[in-house]
Chains A and B, each alone.
Chain A
Amino acid sequence: MHITQILFWSLSILALLSAILVVVSKNPVHSVLWLILVFFAISGHYILLNAQFLAIVNLIVYAGAIMVLFLFVFMLMNLNADTEPQKNKWLKIAGVIAGGSLLLVMVAALKNADMKNQLAEMNTGSIGLIHNLGMVLFTDYVIPFEISSVLFLSAMVGVVVIGKKD
Chain B
Amino acid sequence: MPINYYIFLSIALFCIGVAGVLTRRNAIIIFMCIELMLNAVNLLLVAFSKMHQHALAVTNPNAGIDGQLFVFFIMVVAAAEVSVGLAIIVMMYRNTHSIDVNFLNRLKH
Contacts and interface: CB of A to CB of B under 8 A. Distances in A.
Contact of B49 (A12, A103, A127): A127
B36 A19 contact: yes
A155 B47 CA distance: 30
Contact of B11 (A35, A57, A103): A103
A125 to B, nearest CB: 5
Interface of B: 1-9, 11-13, 15-26, 28-29, 31-33, 35-36, 39, 42-43, 46-51, 53-54, 57, 61-66, 68-69, 71-73, 75-84, 86-91, 93, 98-100, 102
Given A133-B65, A148-B77, A5 B1 contact: yes
B23 A54 contact: no
Contacts of A20: 16
B12 A66 contact: no
A4 B63 CA distance: 23
Interface of A: 4-5, 8, 12, 15-16, 19-20, 22-23, 28, 31-32, 35, 38-39, 42, 45-46, 49-51, 53-54, 57-58, 61-62, 65-66, 69-70, 73-74, 76-77, 79, 84-87, 91-92, 94-96, 98-100, 102-103, 106-107, 110, 113, 115-116, 118-122, 124-128, 132-133, 136-137, 141, 144, 148, 151-152, 155-156, 158-159, 162-163
10 closest A-B pairs (Cβ-Cβ)?
A99-B19, A95-B22, A23-B20, A95-B23, A155-B80, A103-B15, A162-B87, A159-B87, A118-B3, A115-B4
Given A38-B36, A62-B35, A103-B12, A120 B100 contact: no
A69 B19 contact: no
Main secondary structure of the interface of B (DSSP, over half): helix
A135 B64 CA distance: 14
B46 to A, nearest CB: 5
B5 to A, nearest CB: 7
Given A120-B6, A127-B65, A162-B91, A15 B13 contact: yes
